[in-house]
């Protein structure tokens, strides 16, 4: 979806953003951002590296890569 693609772009450049910061950038509720993150994790697009407090998000594969592969 469009919000998930936007979220992936944000995480690719700023993987250390908090869920609230991501929600603010997407202009959605924090819970909505959490759902998008959960969906992307289940699809294997992103993973969390490190701890909840000091870790960051890592984009593993982009939707374009999965369509081509």
The model carries a pTM of: 0.81
pLDDT of residue 53: 86
pLDDT of residue 37: 95
Stretch 39-63: mean pLDDT: 90
pLDDT of residue 64: 61
DSSP character string of 12-68: HH-TT--HHHHHHHHTS-HHHHHHHHHHHHHHTSEEEES-TTT-EEEE---HHHHHH
- Determine contact, residues 17/26, Cβ cutoff 8 Å: no
Stretch 51-59: mean pLDDT: 90
Residue 65 has pLDDT above 80, yes or no: no
Give the model confidence (pLDDT) of 10-24 as tens digits.
999 999 999 999 999
């Amino acid at each position: 979806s469009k919000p998930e693609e936007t979220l992936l772009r944000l995480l690719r450049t700023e993987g250390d953003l908090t869920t609230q910061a991501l929600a603010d950038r997407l202009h959605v509720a924090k819970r909505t951002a959490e759902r998008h993150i959960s969906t992307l994790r289940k699809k294997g697009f992103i993973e969390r590296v490190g701890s909840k407090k000091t870790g960051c998000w890592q984009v593993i594969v982009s939707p374009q890569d999965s369509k081509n592969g």
